[in-house]
Amino acid sequence: MGVVKLRGIVIGESQNGESSKRIQVLAKGVGRVMLSARGAKNTKSKLLSGTQLFSYCDFLAYEGKGFYSMTQADLIESFYGIRTDMDKLAEAVYLAELVDKTCPTGMEQDDTLRLLLYSLAALEKTQLPPRLISRIFEVKYLQISGFLSGEGCMVCGNGEESLFFSEKEGELLCKNHCHGGEIPLLTAVQKAISFITQRDGNQIFAFALSDEAMVQMDGILRRYLEVHMGVRLKSREFSKEL
C-alpha cells in the first residue's frame, strides 16, 4: 500500500455508512477512480469540501486493492456559482453523470477532464443558455470518444454539402449515402457541429443557436448517445421540467 497524489474532479458521490462517502473522481493521467473518504460527511471533517460534487482538488490517498482511501483534499475550484442557479445546476449534474456512466475505469481521460472543466466554467461564468452548453459538451465528448467525426458524412467524410441524420443508425450522412427516412440538418445545426469539432478549449462555446436549431440538435444528440454510448439519462431531461 503506497501514497498517491491525484488531481481530479468529483463526478459522483454516494454514502458509505453513516459518516463516510465514496466518490468517483475523474483524475488527470488516471481516468475514473473511486476514493473512499472516511468521516467526510461530518461537518467538521477536513475532507468535507473536497468530496462535494464538482469539487476540483489535489487528492492524497493510500492505494488499496481496487480503491483509494483518501486522507487529504486540497480544493482548487468548487464551481460554487453553479449551485446558485437551478438550470445551471441541473445541467452540471447531468454532465457529471454522463461522464461517470460512460468513462471507463482506470484509463487516462485527460481530454474529457479538460472538456468537463471548461464546460463547468462556462456554466458558472458565461451567459450562454445552460442547455446549449450541455449540447456543446455532448458534441465534443462524442468526438473525443471516437463516435463523431468532424469531417461531415460518417461514410465518406464529405462535409461540403448538406448533411442528414439517420435516427436508426445514429449517423450523419451526405445525400449520396442516405437510404431514405433521414432528417435533413438545419444549416445552423450543421454549422454548429462543424464549429465545435474544429475547435478546442473555450472557443467551442463562442456561438449561439435559435430555439428551432436547439430543438433539432437536442433530439439528434439524444439519439446519438443512445446508439453509440448506450445511455439515456433522466438527468438530461430534468432542466426541461424546471
Q: Tens digits of per-residue pLDDT, 83-96?
A: 999 999 999 999 99
Confidence of residue 241 (pLDDT cuts 50, 70, 90): low
**Cell matching residue 179:** 437510404
Segment 149-164 mean pLDDT: 86
* CATH of 3-78 given 2.40.50.140, 3.40.50.150, 3.40.50.1460, 3.40.30.10: 2.40.50.140
What pLDDT, on a 0 to 100 scale, did the predictor assign at position 149?
84
Domain 81-241: CATH architecture, name and number where available: Up-down Bundle (1.20)
For the chain, residues classed under CATH 1.20.1440.120 are 81-241
What percent of the chain is predicted at pLDDT more than 90?
Answer: 73
In degrees, rounded to 5, the angle at the alpha carbon of residue 232 between the alpha carbons of residues 126 and 196 is 40
Residue count of the chain, please give it.
Answer: 242
- Cβ–Cβ under 8 Å, residues 58 and 50: no
- Cβ–Cβ under 8 Å, residues 178 and 169: no
Cβ-proximal residues to 2 (8 Å cutoff; 6+ apart), any chain: 62, 63
Q: Bigger pLDDT: 237 or 102?
A: 102
Angstrom CA distances, 88 to 94, 118, 136, 211, stand at 10, 14, 14, 18
